[in-house]
Structure 1
């Protein structure tokens, strides 16, 4: 016996299909719109008002992302002024962070749109798209830091070899730098002005601000079970690492000018950020290709339903007996999880009893795990699966 699962219900405020309709409604005419196009100025005004209202009413994901965005604007302005005064170019990294904030905010808002006729499973995978984009930004940033640090290290070794007396160390440095490509001048810091220790204050400011943003964003991400917000938190933490290396390099170069501390620290940070980026990319990619959840998660889902399992149905019960649960499958899409399973029930189970049991299974799973948004149940009479 198999019961067809309930279809996803359309919620208030759904986005209409906007396709040309025919048949008995031929006199009605609507226009097809893309996700980001085809709206009037009134539509954009209404969306802006809805966003502001959502922020005021406690849309925590949008709020923390906008706080991060405004913080990056402030850091970019401060570092820009400092860079102009102290011949530095550190503002570019904070400016690039703004792109990540806009990606996170857009994907977060889209993922929270209600289901519609065209998108009956909702927009949750926009979170996976956003996480993928942020992870690629992290990977690109890590490669940029590593490439820059590599060239700076070669430049420092070449300078050391030029001033070092003949000997085994001199020979080794000459051999290393001789086979390396020429260092582009644009990638080499201009130290003609010396190290301005005051730059350390701006690096320290960035560390404090970004660490606070990391902790606040991660807290919201965990509570909302949001992968894209977690990716943005990791993005903030990567900036903490970068600023810490900058602070260490500024102070180290001031105290020990001969040591290549900046490129060595940059190479270390690039490896750490690269690993974080690939970890995020792997998780979001698994969501996009509908990879199943881990065996641990499947076992957890089964344990959640064990209290419902009984040996037989009481005569006066309106709910069918749940004898066993098998063939549990689940997949993630952003912050939500879709589950389907097979419920083993007595052969004499009625449609009404099966329907009540299905509702109970839905209620139990969704109450225990808030990320579960849809549960599909297939009913199997007792003994049918035995060989």
Structure 2
């Protein structure tokens, strides 16, 4: 897939997330306030954080597609991972706020939410699951950390909506059956949502930070690259091989051993062959080849 097409698809997906989350956040907030549902309002805040998250992803993708320059010779691919970290931080802050609001509700007079809050949550679950599947599959296809993280934002919203749905149903049922303690199901669901959001923020932040710190592909993931190099007859041995992940692409540092009696020009030709072979492979952005003399 051409890089231009990759970024076009990724940016479109980010815009779908922005528009979708804005609509959901507004609808859930309005209905949550009218229905007097702490859980639905918390869910609306969660969706609002997804707007900021999708926007951060959009900005990250814009930056990541910029070509290498004098200050960034390795390109701007890590902008996607940085955007993913920003999203994780936003999720963490939202989780804290939702938890705080839900805990406070336990110390205030409780009133069961209206029944129509249930319908808003059902719609939210369907829409957010569809958005998750769309972005996750596209993120895997395009090897985009930012899109995958953003997809899991939608999945966390599905879980939070399910938790809110259970809580609202408990509270509505408690009100109808005159079972007072069931009415606390609504703020309890809000608290559960906050825990889900905090865990999601931790997991996604941890993975994104790992990818940002010059993470290299593990041995089992580099076999195909090495096999390609060893098809070149002049390459006697691969002395070292590092494939560094820079967002959606890989930069390879490789040391090869060749006949020590080759001329400088001949050695250069071998290095050029190695680079050309590797550059034809998917997601390889650049290759740096070091030539060593081979001694048995």
TM-score tier, shorter chain, comes to 0.7 to 0.9
Could you say if the C-alpha distance between residues 253 and 84 of structure 1 is closer, same or farther in structure 2, counting changes exceeding 3 Å?
A: closer
> Please, which runs of 5 or more residues in structure 1 have no aligned partner?
1-53, 156-182, 311-318
Question: C-alpha displacement at 1:79, in angstroms?
Answer: 2.4
Deviation, 1:232, is: 0.8
Give the root-mean-square deviation of aligned CA atoms. 2.7
Cα distance in 2 for partners of 1:261, 1:202 equals: 17
Provide the rounded CA distance (Å) in 2 between the counterparts of 1:261 and 1:356: 71
Shift of 1:334: 1.7
| SS of residue matched to 2:76 | coil
| Aligned positions of 1:1-387 closer than 5 A | 59-88=8-37, 90=41, 91-152=44-105, 155=106, 183=107, 188=108, 190-191=110-111, 194-256=112-174, 257=179, 258-259=181-182, 260-290=184-214, 292-294=215-217, 297-306=218-227, 308-309=229-230, 321-368=234-281, 370-383=282-295
Q: Distance in 2 between matches of 1:68 and 1:109?
A: 15
Hey, what's the Cα distance between the residues in 2 that align with 1:366 and 1:270?
45
Secondary structure of the residue aligned to 1:305 is: helix
In 2, distance between residues paired with 1:242 and 1:142?
11
Aligned length: 283
Normalization by structure 1: what TM-score?
0.66
Q: Give the helix-richer structure, 1 or 2.
A: 2
Change (3 A) 1:349 1:272: farther
What is the TM-score with the length of structure 2 in the denominator?
0.84
> Secondary structure of the residue that 1:59 maps to in structure 2?
helix
Which entry has the higher C-alpha Rg, 1 or 2?
A: 1
Contact 1:320 1:357 in 2 (8 A): no
**Partners of 2:109 and 2:154 in 1: how far apart?**
25
